Amino acid sequence: MSYDVIIAGAGFSGSSAARILAERGKKVLLIEKRDHVGGNCYDLKNAFGITIQKYGPHIFHTQSEAVWEFLNRFSDFNDYKHKVLSKVGEKFYPIPINKTTVCDFLNLDINTVNIAEILKQEVEKSTFSMPPRNFQDQVISQVGERLYEAFFKGYTMKQWGKEPENLAADIAKRVPVRDNLDDYYFSDKYQGIPTNGFTLLFEKMLDHPNITVLLNTDYFEVRSRYKSELTVYTGELDRFFDYKYGHLEYRSLEFKYENLEQKQFQPVAVVNYPGDEPWTRITEYKQFLRENVDWTTLCYEYPASKGEPYYVIINDENLKKRELYMQEAQKLEADGSVLFIGRLAEYKYYNIDQVVESVIIKVKNVRQNV
């Protein structure tokens, strides 16, 4: 059977591409190995009436008006603004590190202290390399060793399964540090959660006569059956090329749930645990959509080395392999036969809005005669 476009993966990359191309009159086949659309943003209601994000917490945020307007075609968003706390000992501290975090942790007077000067002093009495050679150096160069040890080292080791000095410094460049009282996790103009959940957003996005969705199907097992002028690939980059340059590393996650007969368990929806606990964070999902039920559901998150790929692992070895794979990918993109889009397909950390923006840009350049 023939289609204009075959898309592998029904997450934000694949689904956004499918909708944009379908509206341009292209016949699209969207192939998804799971039994649902939505990728890792898939959500559903549990027995207690609480909307659970099956693959961990996702909060939409963006500065892009174009991305915001595109997604609002398929769902309204609430006004949820994300806050994260880190539990160190028996105390909760705001993350990203801000004036409150520093003053509470170092027992300083919040009304008189100059945070920029305090952080400068903390950095000056710390040991690290400049320019930063790795994640550890990068964080210490921003906050000093004491804050690094308390809030970053243990969490990072659990999250990535590697010593922080064996991770690229670029990962830490995503770590903001604030010298004010702002305790919101994101600073983007547009923020929120789809009012009826992410899954319904995806279902509406894919509700188009030019889109056919094939679930429970591995793209690699059926691609020889279908013909198309263009393939949009959103899966693992190394798998597409049959691992010819070796396997890229991905970090996976395992989730365990606990249901409690109480209105609320923790002060905010997500609390990080940088200590000896085996989990990295606890998410209390009902806080996202402010669901008024008598029970609450907690999700404990455990990073794992095996399983579904969630995060790319940025270090020198993986970056070298990525470069080789991306050279191959760029050749296919140049001749117009394949587009590689998304976190896994580009082996690059993307937020949701960055994925959608990438789709808009790449798909816009697809020739009309596809």
Range of the domain at 219: 2-80+190-249+314-364
**Residue 285: inside a domain:** no
Task: Report the pLDDT value the prediction gives residue 367, as an integer from 0 to 100.
Answer: 64
Residues 107 and 44 grouped into a single domain: no
Please give the distance of CA 342 from its chain centroid, rounded to a whole number. Answer: 11
The confidence band for 174, taking pLDDT boundaries of 50, 70 and 90, is: low
Residues 149 and 95 grouped into a single domain: yes
Residues 232 and 334 grouped into a single domain: yes
Q: Are 285 and 52 in contact (CB under 8 A)?
A: yes
Length of the chain: 370
Task: Report the pLDDT value the prediction gives residue 168, as an integer from 0 to 100.
Answer: 87
**Residue 130: inside a domain:** yes
The confidence band for 369, taking pLDDT boundaries of 50, 70 and 90, is: low
For the segment 45-49, the average pLDDT, to the nearest whole number, is: 97
The confidence band for 145, taking pLDDT boundaries of 50, 70 and 90, is: very high
The confidence band for 364, taking pLDDT boundaries of 50, 70 and 90, is: confident
The confidence band for 170, taking pLDDT boundaries of 50, 70 and 90, is: confident
Strand partners of residue 105: none
Write the CB contacts of 346 (distance below 8 Å, at least 6 apart in sequence).
237, 326, 329, 340, 358
Task: Report the pLDDT value the prediction gives residue 173, as an integer from 0 to 100.
Answer: 72
**Residue 20: inside a domain:** yes
Q: What is the pLDDT of residues 242-298, one digit of tens each?
A: 999 999 999 999 999 999 999 999 999 999 999 999 999 999 999 999 999 999 999
Residues 109 and 239 grouped into a single domain: no
pTM for the structure as a whole: 0.93
**Residue 277: inside a domain:** no
Task: Report the pLDDT value the prediction gives residue 193, as an integer from 0 to 100.
Answer: 98
Residues 158 and 20 grouped into a single domain: no
Alpha-carbon gap, residue 198 to 219, rounded angstroms? 23
The confidence band for 365, taking pLDDT boundaries of 50, 70 and 90, is: confident
* CATH number of the domain to which 27 belongs: 3.40.50.720
Please give the distance of CA 300 from its chain centroid, rounded to a whole number. Answer: 17
Task: Domain count for the chain, please give it.
Answer: 2
Residues 71 and 98 grouped into a single domain: no
Task: Report the pLDDT value the prediction gives residue 12, as an integer from 0 to 100.
Answer: 98
**Helix, strand, coil: what percent of the chain each, to 5?**
35, 20, 45
- The backbone torsions φ and ψ at residue 52, rounded to the nearest 5 degrees and listed phi first, read -105, 130
The two three-digit tokens of residue 207, written as one number = 């509700």
Q: What is the pLDDT of residues 25-46, one digit of tens each?
A: 999 999 999 999 999 999 999 9
Amino acid letter at 12? F
Please give the share of the chain, as a percent, with pLDDT higher than 90. 91
Amino acid letter at 97? I
Residues 154 and 18 grouped into a single domain: no
